Amino acid sequence: MRDYDEITSFIGEWGPFQKLIFFLLSLSSIPNGYVGMAMVFVADIPPHRCRIPWLNTSSFSLDLNHSIPLQELNGEIILSRCTRFKGHVDSNTSYRNQTEGCLDGWEFSQEQYTSTIVTEWDLVCDDAWKAPFTVTIFFLGVVSGSFFSGIISDRYGRRLIFFVTMAVQTIFSILQATSNSWEMFCVFYFISGMGQIANYCSAIILGSELLIKNVRVNFALLGVPISYALGYTALPIFAWFIRSWRILLIALSLPGFLYIPLWWYVPESPQWLLSQGRVKEAEDIIRIAAKKNGITPPDCIFQQEACEQLTEHKNKEMYSWLDLVKTRNIRNITFIVIAVWVVISMTYYGMSLNTANMEGDPYLNCLVAASSEFLGYGYIWVFVHYVPRRCTLPCTLILSGIMLLLVKFIPEDLHALYTTLVMIGKTGVTGAFGFLYLYSTELFPTVVRNMALGATSMSSRLGSTVSPYIAYMGTYNKILPYIVMGGSTIAAGVLAFFLPETKGEKLPEFINQVKPIRCITMKQDSQKGQRQKGNVQVENGVDTIQE
């Protein structure tokens, strides 16, 4: 439709129908906040050392110091985690300078955790790579979920994929707790990852198309992200009381069943139905919304000629991933958004997973990191209302990157200043993460919007798949992760300057309504009055390639 918001404005912006959709879809994102981040505790590596079966309990400390060599880790001298001195189990026990691996397994500290997957399956030393790779498996599942959910959602509906992915996330999170091997755990975690981000994206798309104008902005910037932050904040609280990884996963998964009643309250997107030529179904949903708001709808909501145009458009063409690079305008935006997504995802998850390597209590660090998300979404909400879109994203990223790079120059004894800079950087990246979901829905047209958000979000997982290893760097060098993330974030901020302005603009319906990137717009302004150039025609300030 040329002006969907105007045609449906008679139902109002903030009636009972909109309030119900806003809060139900927002609250559905709470589980998304702790499913991925649960690995901060589930896969944490407690202090450990080789098991020494021949130790004399009466002189345990003395024998321990003679049984295990020392090593330096982050400037601290500790007992070696992966080697021990060779010894003989007899009355004349002798210790040599020769070392060997932990042939009898490991002893893990239970000061923080009763069990983690690391202690369950000895994911240390030669198998230490498996702990961060477990999180990478999750993000590979996210990539797969983004790929398939975008196609399914644009072809079969937003509502279907929303509920299917919610079920997948809940059920397979529970199955993870039953795993009897690391390999089985990874398989279930992969499938859970397929549902996690697909459910989050579907909620944003569905809500953005059911709501209009300012409510849509508040939903994308506050409703869903704040609910995600609530889930993230609940994680360290659950983990503090539940120190066993199996029980923790079950406790975090069960709330997912509370969302089953949403099936009877959340309808399909009328905009998607219109893009498919299913006009009567779209009208029925609008009439139901009007009834809930106490408004009598007009006899004909969508004009017949416009309906025929939509049906003809649907029958003419089915959209695919190739449509995201079909014309110059949408191709440029797709590539830039993908690059920015990759960096933001890498930095956001890298910092979130790195909280375990920070000084102090891991539960408190995670709680502070989760709480910073509220600040991030709050300041972005203010920026969205008073600052142009094309300034909000780059300025936020550049400031965050600078804060992360400054960490290198902070003396080791100034832990408070160190933590403050890190949290300011995380707050900025968190805000940019939430903002990019809104910005992306405004940049791409309705006919490929969910597919585009799924594709760009899927591409961002290239960044998230390496984020566990960036966090893993922190176990050996606490500054290096911030240098990598800070430099990348500044580069992404510079690239974001090229994206066009969308504030106050109507959502594009079709591909030929996509706006050009900023450098093309500036070129057009300098050549105002020229109607054609090559095979590009300027129509109402928007480039459309002549097919």
Which candidate, 301, 297, 258, 345, places its Cα nearest to that of 27? 258
- Helix, strand, coil percentages in the chain from 3-state DSSP, rounded to 5: 70, 5, 25
Q: Please, which pLDDT band fits residue 306 given cuts at 50, 70 and 90?
A: low
Write the CB contacts of 138 (distance below 8 Å, at least 6 apart in sequence): 36, 39, 189, 190, 192, 193, 196
Give this prediction's pTM. 0.74
Q: Does position 119 have pLDDT exceeding 50, yes or no?
A: yes
Which candidate, 526, 492, 521, 489, places its Cα nearest to that of 505? 521
Are 46 and 115 spatial neighbours (Cβ–Cβ below 8 Å)?
Answer: no
pLDDT of res. 520: 47
Domains delineated in the chain = 1-40+122-317 (1.20.1250.20), 48-108 (no CATH), 319-525 (1.20.1250.20)
- Tens digits of residue pLDDT in 447-494: 777 678 767 777 777 787 888 778 777 767 778 888 888 888 999 888
> For 50, phi and psi rounded to 5 degrees?
-65, 145
Q: Please, which pLDDT band fits residue 22 given cuts at 50, 70 and 90?
A: very high
The residue assigned the tokens 């989760």 is 370
Q: Does position 388 have pLDDT exceeding 80, yes or no?
A: yes
Tokens representing 341 are: 């997504």
Q: Does position 182 have pLDDT exceeding 90, yes or no?
A: yes
The gap from C-alpha 170 to its chain's centroid, in whole angstroms, comes to 17
Distance CA 161, CA 155 (A): 10
Determine which of 60-69, 195-204, 295-304 has the lowest per-residue pLDDT on average. 60-69
